[in-house]
Amino acid sequence: MSRPPFAPLVAGLPATVPFVGPEQQERERGRPFAARLGANESGFGPSPRAVAAMQAAAAGMWRYCDPQSADLKAALAAHHGIDPAAILVGEGIDGLLGLTVRLFVAPGDAVVTSAGAYPTFNYHVAGYGGRLVTRPYRADREDVTALAEAARSSGARLVYLANPDNPMGSWHGQEAIAALLDALPEGCLLCLDEAYVELAPEGTAPDWNIEDTRLIRFRTFSKAQGLAGLRIGYAVGHPELIAGYDRIRNHFGVNAMAQAAALAALEDPGHLAAVRAAVADCRLRIGAIAAANGLAALPSATNFVAIDCGHDGAFARAVLAGLLARDIFVRMPGVAPLDRCIRVSCAPEREIDLFQAALPGALEAARATVCTGGSLADCD
């Protein structure tokens, strides 16, 4: 007996996922990684208040969660000085991006993003039948002028921009975001992914203006707040935009423990300040390690550093393979010329020590594999 066929759209999609998790790689390798530096998690951990809140909530897990996330929404509204009706709590930014594509994109509609930008957004666009229109990075930053031009020429429904950016760690100031909004065509929505904005310089994030129907912003508790395993984030936009999500969202999708932990994390600014300081120090250290090995670290406003390996994607992939062989989990961009880099997450000193020890051998192995004469100058 044959299985029921998939829907035509799904049947035509490749059997891929945006990321192969470190756990799957460990299963395939048959051993764990010694340093987990590839997923941009916060190795500095969550707030102790968040841990205590999870412990306190555990006994009540027999109850369904609050489908409105009312307490967390109220706290977020007070924190940002905005109307709670402008906030939607969801299953991390990834889940919210999927809902956004479903809400606004019909099969065949154009959606604009940067070639090499966060791939999970592209995954959702493909899954709902949208048509991706991409533009290359310029000087290792997403090219906001080119994105706006592509939106106008294609009649795009959505433009996706991560600010700060993943995978390069670069960023734009709020003036560039305002200019991008003003350059978009009528009926186009800017999806501004601010997953790393708590770690960015002042002036990166625009002021809150929930009356602007051209913009929806995404924040998460996965990065600076150290709650990636709970899958909780939120969207901020005009109340009429936010209300639309109630038509399609999983109303019980954000579990009660995640809501309690996020609320407690929000109420612990001291922990967030400590993580910011630790990340800033770690970015400097990763940069120094890169320089000591003849490589260049790109400026970063995130909790990771992109390291230019000095040649093309083949060489960077060999470096990455050398690090994986030495039990150091890192990732790299997938599109040229960004793929000349590897991407190293900030982490506590012990893990960075392991990366520092492994990098010279990984570089030596890459040169032996890719470069005929054993040096970058011999790579063609």
pLDDT at residue 15 greater than cutoff 90: no
40-99: pLDDT as tens digits: 999 999 999 999 999 999 999 999 999 999 999 999 999 999 999 999 999 999 999 999
The pLDDT of residue 100 is 98
Q: In whole angstroms, what separates CA 75 from the centre of its chain?
A: 24
The pLDDT of residue 3 is 86
pLDDT at residue 378 greater than cutoff 80: no
Confidence of residue 196 (pLDDT cuts 50, 70, 90): very high
350-366: pLDDT as tens digits: 999 999 999 999 999 99
Sign of CA dihedral 330, 380, 287, 325: positive
Mean pLDDT for all residues in the chain: 96
| CA–CA gap between residue 270 and residue 41 (Å, rounded) | 19
Beta strands in the chain (DSSP E): 35-36, 87-90, 110-114, 131-135, 158-162, 189-193, 215-220, 233-237, 296-297, 304-308, 328-329, 341-345
Q: Which domains does the chain have, with CATH numbers?
A: 20-44+270-378 (3.90.1150.10), 48-267 (3.40.640.10)
Sign of CA dihedral 317, 323, 327, 332: negative
The pLDDT of residue 16 is 80
Q: What does the pLDDT average to over 209-230?
A: 97
Token pair of 197, please?
């904005």
Confidence of residue 129 (pLDDT cuts 50, 70, 90): very high
Token pair of 117, please?
């930008």
